[in-house]
């Protein structure tokens, strides 16, 4: 069983541990330690990355009854390949370093999820069914649909809690004690025999994926307490105060499995999204010489103008085709009892078709037109014309 240092100190960035085991899997080393600060994928939260000695940690798994496995590349940042001669041998001490940028991002998103889920629940009784922390955005799946106004109200309430900079405490309780606490979700019986060990029970997570707020009710439970607002069983890494979340922004929502999927971003991700949208909107503002709030109406006008211009162009092309047809028809050659027009002109496929249609409207005329335009190959134009000729025949 691996001691999980992140349980009590999610801000721990470096640590020393003793190597317990080393094996190979798919050209990578699998390293187990007596203790670790690396968070394994579970509960909707992805794994930490970083280094163990000179090697990069590329995945962290929790699949073997409480033992955490660190998958590391066998090639270090210096390009040295470590296989049988690795310094990661059982009994040796290794220094681990967490990728803090990734860890803190996950802490912001996960704590933000607790606050946002609690806001949906408190204001509208909308229960969170599951949670996914993605590489770019995170999602909450609600048991029922909410209106845009309700979503905005929950978002505002969640940010109120963020800006009040409330304490986020880690607490532990037995199943009996937890049953008497105001948890956002009631505990459910353990579903899997692999949840026997106390350390996993303390984390409140299953071996693969935890449904939000539904940990096993056996052993010691780890609780995340957002002061005066939310209390949930969770084994993830969280910020110490809500102010560190920065901001919680709902990006979009959609119907999903009879409920609703909410996309949201917190902290640094929200800032990155703002910058992206600022640049995009700024570009549109400069191109159209309007204010940001005038962009939707301006785009609608452009679309309407483009549609009208397209209609007018089609009308003009049709009229022009009639006049050009008269000119080209004069050059028709008699073949048996038919007048055949063979010409190469500068026009696209649409123009060729309009012109050919006008020519074959004349009794006894057949036409083959090819295009000299770079935008329309002769083969395509000729095919369009032959279709018109067959219809006329």
Q: Is residue 139 part of a domain?
A: yes
Q: Is residue 187 part of a domain?
A: yes
Give the pLDDT band (50/70/90) at residue 134.
very high
Whole-number Å distance between alpha carbons of 240 and 81: 39
Same domain, 134 and 250: yes
What's the pLDDT tens digit per position in 195-236?
333 344 334 433 333 344 343 344 689 999 999 999 999 999
Q: Is 284 helix (H, G, I), strand (E, B) or coil?
A: helix
> Taking residues 162-169, what's their average pLDDT?
98
Q: Is 176 helix (H, G, I), strand (E, B) or coil?
A: helix
Same domain, 159 and 246: yes
Looking up residue 12, the CATH number of its domain turns out to be 2.40.30.130
Q: What is the pLDDT of residue 387?
A: 43
Residue of 389 and 146 predicted with greater confidence: 146
- Sole residue written with tokens 């409330």: 166
Same domain, 107 and 253: yes
Whole-number Å distance between alpha carbons of 236 and 117: 15
Same domain, 107 and 216: yes
Whole-number Å distance between alpha carbons of 247 and 168: 16
Q: Is 168 helix (H, G, I), strand (E, B) or coil?
A: strand
What's the pLDDT tens digit per position in 37-92?
999 999 889 999 999 999 999 999 997 668 999 999 976 555 555 555 457 899 99
Phi, psi of 255 (to 5 degrees): -70, 140
Residue of 157 and 78 predicted with greater confidence: 157
The domain tally of the chain equals: 3
Q: Is residue 301 part of a domain?
A: no
Distances (CA, A) of 32 to 97, 154, 199, 236, 330: 15, 42, 16, 20, 89
Same domain, 75 and 39: yes
The side-by-side arrangement of strands in the sheet containing 365-371 is: 333-335, 338-345, 365-371
Q: Give the structural domain span for 343.
A: 313-392
8 A C-beta contact, residue 355 and residue 384: no
- Tell me, yes or no, if the pTM score tops 0.85: no
Same domain, 82 and 62: yes
Of 247, 275, 303, the domain-final residue: 275
Of 219, 247, 275, the domain-final residue: 275
Whole-number Å distance between alpha carbons of 8 and 56: 24
Whole-number Å distance between alpha carbons of 57 and 39: 11
Q: Is residue 296 part of a domain?
A: no
Residue of 376 and 178 predicted with greater confidence: 178
């Amino acid at each position: 069983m691996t001691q999980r240092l992140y349980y009590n100190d999610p801000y721990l960035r470096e640590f020393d541990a003793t190597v317990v085991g080393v094996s190979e899997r798919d050209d990578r080393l699998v390293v187990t330690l007596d203790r670790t600060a690396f968070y394994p994928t579970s509960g909707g939260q992805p794994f930490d990355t970083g280094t163990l000695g000179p090697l990069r940690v590329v995945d962290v798994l929790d699949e073997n009854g409480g033992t955490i496995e660190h998958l590391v590349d066998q090639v270090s940042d210096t390009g040295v390949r470590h296989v049988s001669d690795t310094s990661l041998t059982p009994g040796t001490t290794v220094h681990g370093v967490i990728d803090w940028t990734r860890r803190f991002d996950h802490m912001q998103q996960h704590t933000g999820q607790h606050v946002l889920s609690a806001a949906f629940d408190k204001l509208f009784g909308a229960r969170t069914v599951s949670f996914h922390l993605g590489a770019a955005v995170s999602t909450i799946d609600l048991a029922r649909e909410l209106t845009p106004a309700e979503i905005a109200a929950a978002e505002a309430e969640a940010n109120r809690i963020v800006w009040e900079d409330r304490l986020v405490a880690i607490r532990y309780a037995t199943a009996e004690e937890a049953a008497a606490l105001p948890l956002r979700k009631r505990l459910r019986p353990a579903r899997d025999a692999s949840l026997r060990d106390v350390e996993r029970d303390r984390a409140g997570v299953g071996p693969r994926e935890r449904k939000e707020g539904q940990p096993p009710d056996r052993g010691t439970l780890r609780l995340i307490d957002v002061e005066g607002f939310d209390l949930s069983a969770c084994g993830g890494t969280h910020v110490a105060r809500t102010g560190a979340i920065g901001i919680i922004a709902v990006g979009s929502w959609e119907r999903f499995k009879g409920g609703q999927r909410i996309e949201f971003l917190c902290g640094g991700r929200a800032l990155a999204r703002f910058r992206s949208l600022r640049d995009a909107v700024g570009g549109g503002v400069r191109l159209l010489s309007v204010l940001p709030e005038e962009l939707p109406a301006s785009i609608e006008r452009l679309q309407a103008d483009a549609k009208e211009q397209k209609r007018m162009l089609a009308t003009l092309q049709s009229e022009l085709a009639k006049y050009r047809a008269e000119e080209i028809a004069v050059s028709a050659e008699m073949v048996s009892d038919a007048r055949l027009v063979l010409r190469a002109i500068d026009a696209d496929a649409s123009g060729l078709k309009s012109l050919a249609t006008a020519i074959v409207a004349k009794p006894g005329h057949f036409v083959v037109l090819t295009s000299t335009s770079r935008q329309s190959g002769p083969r395509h134009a000729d095919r369009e014309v032959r279709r018109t000729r067959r219809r006329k025949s």
